[in-house]
């Protein structure tokens, strides 16, 4: 078995991607296709006092101009947040109304006001500019702290002081008492910078209405087409589920931003019915910056207390989370259950308390982005640990060693029950790979070249899988977070895996097939993966939160168990042997210790011919399964970053980046390493380069790649990626998840390294040359004053 | 993009004539600024007059102490020219570090200086090397050509056809790129020329490319990085934006000037 679990198999899907043969939503062309162009608010906050579309409607090629009041008249529902989070006083969250096209108020620059449907993109865009919208500007607030202040502009009537919820977790009084008795207290003010997701393929949709069947088909860039169909049907009232097919074909990256159902997809569906034409919309990059859900944007004060020996006694965290102008689909869960539940980190902490205030501002909605809450948590934990070690004069590695959780299962004070891990082993592996012992010599050598060299740790833990369904339901989730799979063995022995997971870069067509190849000792060529189409795949929850391995593959394993049982029963019957003696290997189903066998395809054929089946066995060889996990999974690891800073310009060069991850069982090490590389690249992007900037009037200043800095190859080192795994006891394959770890673990390692190099802890992300230079000047001034 | 009428000009005279007849023409050279602007519907010229195929605006020649570069010459050609590399290595290096390979393949010298982006590299080369800007109607000293942010002395319809660079005794350009756009946040050309020491700064000043007279004086006395140690740059004259404060840019001007002198 060279193509099974653990094999570095090249990706089956790459042939079509690298030869330009992928089929993305924008590649799909329908007969009688029209194009949508959206009229968007140029103001961050305004009353819409009038819309005059007469001139636009008279322009060449224009089929229709549609507005919010017409959408409401057709009873298209408001966009909702699907996870109910209550305030600490028990009151429900204050969800403001979000219509796919604004009815009376716009709340961020880019808010959709009207849509033009026309024969060509150029005609649609020209007419969109001709739609006259009258606005009465309202005062604007952009940042979460200002939005909570007395007298701040009010964004939604039902959210006084722009507060969506005031949520807490943990025991405040006990934590306060622990901190009061601490021998040492480390306190940090932390901003987790706002990010734009920047999938390579921008969002797109093409909707078709079949008048005769009263049926809709939507091709769209979704990470979860079944969830999209469910929400479009149940909440947005577009069509009943049996009259709506959603297809997510090849999708070029998501990073969370394609989980949600945005106004544009809803409007394309509705407009296809209004105009009886296929309606297509493909986001421009400028629209993507304005309207794709942003990530992060936390303002946090964190206090950690230690006893005289360096043991953590308590952690108190206060976070203001900017959710933008409206609540996106999972926006409430990201800064609460995906964030504060990780605030025990890898450490034994008796007392943890966190208060999170979620806040409306006049900015684009904020939701989950690669890591979703967990990067924010690891950044809080690992900046605190490194800073505390420096303040207490301890080695950052020793401080962590002293506090690691070493026995499992481990119940933290913030809901999570960690099931496995060996944090010290990951740290040891990373330190050896990084030659930590040789660092001081390297620092001295760099100093001779005029460079400031620094090193930083990040010992992250995260939670994947988001499960079990009953547990997330009790925490407010509006969905179950299981996954489904169907394994179809065809009459010729080839196999199709139908999965509710969705691949938009993860390589499922390879790794899922490897699991099947491994089970039945078959070549990969005969195994295909089907996903992304609600008419083909039974049901599914999609791909996000690093869940496709731990949850999606587990569902496949459950279906494989059923297939294997049936194969053995059928073979035992045909070969006149006991089921217990049947083995599957080498492309055949054999009676162990004999020369009696059926070739694999003969079993498939026998199942479908059904000429000679055991008593009571149904024909066919196709089994399905739903898998609901018993717990989250907990990937963890130790990252070490080493930098050199040019004190003259503030430029940071990452000279070494080492990762030691615990992902549990690994199906394809090459793909996992790629995921780690990409995740670390995004994490370094957040730490050094990327940041969304709005001005005080709510205009997006970082609205193009001229101002929003994406990581380039030249910004990144060659990564040193290692694994030191413990098996996850919670799922059949022992998998933990690897898709987000790099982005979760890397930012604090980078910032800890830079602050070590420059001798100033007061540094915020992105640590641009300008900011690093200013921090060096401040450190020099402080030294001079001493 | 709005509808526009495309013309491929065969000669400089043809280009000027075609543009003069149009309602609202724009000259198209490499299109690295104009075309993205049009695609964003922020520019809507009635006619595009393409200068890129005009033979008389192409090419590089060295005669005596002067390097003449046709305005339609792409950056990559300047960077790769052994003539330029031998005569003014600083100029070849500057051209080879503009934008990215795609930009260098299409963007042209004439297009860059006619646009006069305050963060573009070529204006610093022209001003620092005391170049002469040749147009279809006249010749201008670089100092008279650049007039602030995106402003030049070009008249309506006037076309830059070539730039003449006197060969300096030594020169170097050092640039600190904007992390996102790779335009200059501070780009400094230092040169010893027949006209004395010249220091031209791009990317940093709030009124576009400028000569740094204090640095010129210091280097005129003592051509060394140390001579710049006590020369400051007034932050009040610097740009400030999300990528860096005026103070930071003022500091970078000093750092880049020293690095340029050291490598000249």
Residue-wise pLDDT tens digits, A191-210: 999 999 999 999 999 999 99
A286 and A272 fall within a common domain? yes
Two structure tokens written together for A364: 């684009």
pLDDT digits (tens, 9 = 90+) for A612-624: 999 999 999 999 9
Q: Is A423 within 8 Å of A346 (Cβ atoms)?
A: yes
Is A709's CB within 8 Å of B244's CB? no
Helix (H, G, I), strand (E, B) or coil at B125: helix
What average pLDDT score do residues B186-198 get?
95
Return the pLDDT at B256: 98
Domain range enclosing A543: 482-627
What ranges in A182-332 are assigned the alpha helix state H? Answer: 225-234, 263-275, 285-291
Sheet of B196-202: strand order equals B170-177, B184-193, B196-202, B210-211
C-alpha to C-alpha distance for A743 and A715, rounded to whole angstroms: 16
Please count the structural domains in chain A: 3
Helix (H, G, I), strand (E, B) or coil at A194: coil
pLDDT digits (tens, 9 = 90+) for A293-343: 999 999 999 999 999 999 999 999 999 999 999 999 999 999 999 999 999
C-alpha to C-alpha distance for A582 and A605, rounded to whole angstroms: 18
Please name the member of B176, B181, B242 whose beta carbon is closest to the beta carbon of A649: B176
The domain defined by B58-166 folds into 3.30.465
Please name the member of B40, B180, B255 whose beta carbon is closest to the beta carbon of A648: B255
On the question of pLDDT at A565 being above 60, the answer is yes
Is A649's CB within 8 Å of B181's CB? no
Return the pLDDT at A1: 57
Mutate to test the interface with B, among A770, A775, A781 (most CBs of B within 10 A): A770
A343 and A440 fall within a common domain? yes
Is B181's CB within 8 Å of A689's CB? no
Is B180's CB within 8 Å of A286's CB? no
Q: Is residue A12 one of the residues assigned to a domain?
A: no
C-alpha to C-alpha distance for A707 and A709, rounded to whole angstroms: 6
Burial of A379 (0-12, 13-18, 19+ CB in 10 A): buried
A505 and A596 fall within a common domain? yes
Is B180's CB within 8 Å of A706's CB? yes
Q: What's the gap in Å between the CA of A777 and the closest CA on chain B?
A: 10
ipTM of this model? 0.95
Percent of chain A with pLDDT over 70: 100
On the question of pLDDT at B121 being above 60, the answer is yes
Helix (H, G, I), strand (E, B) or coil at B260: helix
> Which residues in chain B are closer than 8 Å to A129, comparing Cβ atoms?
41
Q: What's the gap in Å between the CA of A310 and the closest CA on chain B?
A: 39
Q: What's the gap in Å between the CA of B133 and the closest CA on chain A?
A: 29
Residue of B nearest to A709 (CA): B180
pLDDT digits (tens, 9 = 90+) for A350-368: 999 999 999 999 999 999 9
Q: Is residue A189 one of the residues assigned to a domain?
A: no
Is B180's CB within 8 Å of A707's CB? yes
- Could you state, in order of their start, the residue ranges of all structural domains in chain B? 5-50, 58-166, 170-263
Q: Is residue A190 one of the residues assigned to a domain?
A: no
pLDDT band with cut points at 50, 70 and 90 for residue B176 = very high
Q: Element (H or E) spanning A584, and its range?
A: strand A582-585
> Which residues in chain A are closer than 8 Å to B2, comparing Cβ atoms?
126
Is B179's CB within 8 Å of A709's CB? yes
Two structure tokens written together for B163: 């730039």
A361 and A306 fall within a common domain? yes
Average pLDDT value over all residues in chain A: 97
A623 and A636 fall within a common domain? no
Percent of chain B with pLDDT over 90: 97
C-alpha to C-alpha distance for A437 and B80, rounded to whole angstroms: 46
Two structure tokens written together for A657: 């980046």
* Phi-psi sector, B130: left (phi>0), alpha (psi -120 to 50), beta: left
Two structure tokens written together for A779: 């450190």
A683 and A767 fall within a common domain? yes
Q: Is B145 within 8 Å of B153 (Cβ atoms)?
A: yes
Sheet of A298-306: strand order equals A163-170, A352-359, A312-322, A298-306, A184-192
Per this entry, what is the length of chain A? Answer: 786
Four-CA torsion A753, A758, A761, A764, nearest 10 degrees? -80
Is A122's CB within 8 Å of B1's CB? yes
Residue of B nearest to A702 (CA): B242
Is B244's CB within 8 Å of A129's CB? no
Q: Is A367 within 8 Å of A334 (Cβ atoms)?
A: yes
Please name the member of B242, B245, B255 whose beta carbon is closest to the beta carbon of A649: B255
Q: What's the gap in Å between the CA of A287 and the closest CA on chain B?
A: 11
Residues on chain A bordering chain B, Cβ-to-Cβ distance under 8 angstroms: 122, 125-126, 129, 286, 648-650, 689, 693, 701-702, 705-710, 768-770, 773-774
pLDDT band with cut points at 50, 70 and 90 for residue A471 = confident
Return the pLDDT at A259: 96
Is B179's CB within 8 Å of A122's CB? no
Q: Is A354 within 8 Å of A414 (Cβ atoms)?
A: yes
Q: Is B221 within 8 Å of B227 (Cβ atoms)?
A: yes
Helix (H, G, I), strand (E, B) or coil at A109: coil
Return the pLDDT at A468: 86
3-state SS, A340-390, equals: HHHCCCCECCCCEEEEEEEECCCCCCECCCCCCCHHHHHHHHHHHHHHHHH
Q: Is A766 within 8 Å of A655 (Cβ atoms)?
A: no
Q: Is residue A354 one of the residues assigned to a domain?
A: yes
On the question of pLDDT at A285 being above 70, the answer is yes
Q: Options 3.40.50.300, 3.20.20.450, 2.30.30.220, 3.30.43.10; which CATH number does B5-50 get?
A: 3.30.43.10
Please name the member of B180, B244, B255 whose beta carbon is closest to the beta carbon of A709: B180
Domain boundary residue, one of A606, A627, A648: A627
CATH number (domain holding residue A663): 3.30.365.10
Superfamily designation of domain B170-263: CO dehydrogenase flavoprotein, C-terminal domain (3.30.390.50)
Helix (H, G, I), strand (E, B) or coil at A621: coil
Q: Element (H or E) spanning A314, and its range?
A: strand A312-322
Please name the member of A122, A125, A770 whose beta carbon is closest to the beta carbon of B248: A770
Q: Is A754 within 8 Å of A741 (Cβ atoms)?
A: no
Residue of B nearest to A287 (CA): B40
C-alpha to C-alpha distance for B135 and B151, rounded to whole angstroms: 16
C-alpha to C-alpha distance for A452 and A650, rounded to whole angstroms: 10
Tokens 């000569």, located at residue: B211
C-alpha to C-alpha distance for A591 and A5, rounded to whole angstroms: 24
Question: How many beta carbons lie within 10 A of that of residue A660, not counting itself?
Answer: 27
Give me the half-sphere count of Cα atoms (radius 13 Å) on the Cβ side of residue A111: 31
Structure pTM?
Answer: 0.97
Q: Is B68 within 8 Å of B61 (Cβ atoms)?
A: yes
Q: Would the CA dihedral through B254, B256, B261, B262 be positive or negative?
A: positive
On the question of pLDDT at A631 being above 70, the answer is yes
Per this entry, what is the length of chain B? Answer: 264
On the question of pLDDT at A428 being above 80, the answer is yes
What is the secondary structure of B151-206 as a DSSP string?
A: -BSPPTT--EEEEEEEPPSEEEEEEEE-TTT-SEEEEEEEEEETTEEEEEEESSBB
pLDDT band with cut points at 50, 70 and 90 for residue B149 = very high
Q: Per DSSP, what are the bridge partners of residue A166?
A: A357
Two structure tokens written together for A742: 């790099």
Q: Per DSSP, what are the bridge partners of residue A185?
A: A305
On the question of pLDDT at B67 being above 80, the answer is yes
Residue of A nearest to B186 (CA): A649
Q: What's the gap in Å between the CA of A640 and the closest CA on chain B?
A: 24
Is A708's CB within 8 Å of B180's CB? yes
Q: Is residue A34 one of the residues assigned to a domain?
A: yes
For residue A356, give every residue at least 6 positions away whose Cβ sits within 8 Å of its Cβ, in sequence order, or none.
Answer: A165, A166, A167, A168, A319, A320, A321, A335, A336, A339, A340
């Amino acid at each position: 078995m060279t193509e099974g679990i653990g094999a570095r198999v090249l990706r089956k899907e790459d042939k079509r991607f690298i030869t330009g043969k992928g089929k993305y939503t924008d590649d799909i062309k329908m007969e009688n296709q029209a194009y949508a162009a959206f009229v968007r608010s140029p103001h961050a906050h305004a009353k819409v006092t009038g819309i005059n579309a007469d001139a636009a409607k008279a322009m060449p090629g224009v089929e229709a101009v549609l507005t919010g009041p017409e959408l409401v008249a057709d009873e298209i529902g408001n966009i909702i947040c699907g996870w109910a989070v209550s305030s600490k006083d028990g009151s429900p969250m204050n969800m403001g109304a979000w219509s796919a096209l604004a009815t009376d108020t716009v709340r961020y620059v880019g808010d959709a006001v009207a849509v033009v449907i026309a024969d060509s993109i150029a005609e649609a865009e020209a007419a969109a500019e001709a739609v006259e919208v009258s606005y009465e500007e309202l005062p604007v607030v952009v940042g979460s702290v200002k939005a909570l202040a007395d007298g701040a502009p009010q964004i939604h009537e039902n959210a006084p002081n722009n507060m969506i919820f005031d949520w807490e977790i943990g025991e405040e009084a006990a934590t306060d008492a622990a901190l009061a008795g601490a021998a040492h207290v480390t306190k940090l003010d932390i901003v987790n910078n706002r990010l734009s997701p920047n999938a390579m393929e921008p969002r797109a949709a093409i909707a078709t209405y079949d008048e005769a069947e009263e049926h809709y088909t939507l091709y769209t860039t979704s990470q979860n087409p079944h969830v999209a169909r469910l929400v479009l049907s149940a909440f947005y009232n577009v069509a009943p589920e049996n009259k709506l097919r959603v297809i997510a074909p090849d999708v070029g990256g998501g990073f969370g931003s394609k989980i949600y159902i945005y106004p544009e997809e809803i409007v394309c569906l509705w407009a296809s019915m209004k105009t009886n034409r296929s309606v297509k919309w493909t986001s421009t990059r400028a629209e993507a910056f304005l309207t794709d859900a942003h990530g992060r944007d936390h303002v946090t004060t964190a206090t950690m207390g230690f006893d005289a020996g360096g043991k953590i006694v308590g952690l108190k965290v206060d976070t203001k989370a900017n959710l933008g102008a409206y609540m996106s689909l999972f926006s409430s869960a990201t800064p609460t259950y995906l964030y504060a539940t990780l605030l025990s980190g890898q450490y034994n902490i008796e007392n943890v308390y966190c208060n999170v205030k979620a806040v409306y501002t006049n900015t684009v909605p904020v939701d989950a982005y690669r890591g979703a809450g967990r990067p924010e948590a690891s950044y809080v934990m690992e900046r605190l640990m490194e800073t505390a070690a420096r303040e207490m004069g301890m080695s950052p590695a020793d401080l962590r060693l002293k506090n690691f959780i070493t026995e499992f299962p481990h119940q933290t004070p913030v809901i999570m029950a960690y099931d496995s891990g060996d944090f010290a082993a990951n740290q040891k592996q990373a330190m050896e790979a990084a030659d930590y012992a040789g660092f001081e010599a390297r620092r001295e050598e760099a100093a001779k070249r005029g460079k400031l060299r620094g090193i930083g740790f990040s010992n992250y833990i995260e939670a994947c899988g988001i499960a079990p369904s009953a547990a997330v339901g009790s925490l407010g989730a509006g969905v179950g977070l299981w996954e489904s799979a169907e394994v179809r063995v065809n009459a010729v022995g080839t196999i199709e895996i139908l999965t509710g997971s969705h691949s938009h870069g993860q390589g499922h067509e390879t790794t899922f097939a490897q699991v099947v190849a491994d089970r039945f000792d078959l070549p990969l060529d005969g195994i295909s993966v089907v996903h992304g189409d609600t008419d083909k795949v039974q049901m599914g929850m999609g791909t996000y939160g690093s869940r496709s391995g731990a949850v999606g593959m587990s569902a496949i394993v459950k279906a494989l168990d059923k297939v294997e049982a049936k194969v053995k029963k059928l073979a035992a019957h045909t070969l006149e042997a006991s089921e217990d003696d049947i083995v599957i290997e080498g492309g055949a189903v054999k009676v162990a210790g004999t020369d009696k066998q059926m070739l694999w395809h003969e079993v498939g054929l026998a199942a479908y011919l059904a000429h000679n089946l055991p008593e009571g066995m149904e024909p066919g060889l196709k089994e399905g399964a739903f898998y609901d996990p018993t717990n989250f999974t907990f990937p963890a690891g130790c990252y070490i970053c080493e930098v050199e800073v040019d004190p003259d310009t503030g430029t940071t060069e990452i000279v070494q980046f080492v990762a030691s991850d615990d992902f549990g069982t690994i199906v394809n090490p090459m793909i996992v390493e790629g995921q780690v590389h990409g995740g670390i690249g995004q994490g370094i992007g957040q730490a050094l380069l990327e940041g969304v900037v709005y001005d005080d009037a709510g205009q997006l200043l970082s609205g193009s790649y001229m101002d929003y800095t994406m990581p380039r190859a030249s910004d990144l080192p060659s990564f040193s990626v290692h694994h030191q795994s413990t098996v996850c006891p919670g799922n059949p394959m022992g998998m933990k998840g690897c898709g987000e770890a790099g982005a979760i673990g890397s930012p604090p390692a980078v910032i800890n390294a830079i602050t070590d190099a420059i001798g100033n802890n007061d540094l915020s992300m992105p640590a641009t040359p300008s900011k690093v230079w200013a921090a060096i000047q401040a450190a020099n001034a402080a030294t001079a004053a001493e | 993009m709005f509808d526009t009428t495309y013309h491929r000009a065969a000669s400089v005279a043809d280009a000027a004539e075609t543009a003069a007849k149009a309602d609202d023409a724009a000259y198209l050279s490499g299109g690295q600024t104009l075309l993205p602007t049009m695609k964003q519907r922020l520019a809507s010229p009635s006619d595009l007059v393409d200068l890129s195929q005009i033979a008389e605006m192409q090419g590089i020649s060295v005669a005596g102490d002067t390097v003449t570069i046709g305005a339609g010459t792409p950056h990559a050609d300047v960077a790769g020219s052994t003539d330029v590399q031998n005569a003014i290595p600083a100029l070849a290096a500057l051209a080879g570090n503009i934008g990215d390979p795609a930009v260098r393949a299409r963007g042209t010298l004439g297009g860059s200086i006619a646009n006069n982006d305050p963060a573009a590299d070529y204006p610093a080369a022209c001003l620092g090397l005391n170049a002469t800007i040749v147009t279809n109607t006249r010749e201008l000293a670089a100092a008279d050509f650049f007039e602030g942010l995106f402003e030049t002395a070009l008249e309506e319809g006037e076309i830059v056809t070539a730039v003449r660079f006197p060969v300096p005794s030594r020169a170097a350009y050092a640039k600190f790129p904007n992390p996102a756009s790779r335009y200059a946040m501070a780009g400094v050309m230092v040169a010893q020329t027949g006209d004395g020491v010249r220091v031209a700064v791009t990317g940093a000043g709030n009124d576009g490319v400028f000569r740094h007279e204090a640095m010129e004086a210091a280097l005129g006395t003592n051509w060394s990085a140390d001579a710049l140690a006590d020369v400051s740059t007034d932050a009040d004259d610097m740009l400030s934006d999300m990528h860096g404060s005026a103070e930071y840019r003022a500091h970078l001007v000093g750092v880049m000037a020293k690095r340029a002198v050291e490598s000249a």
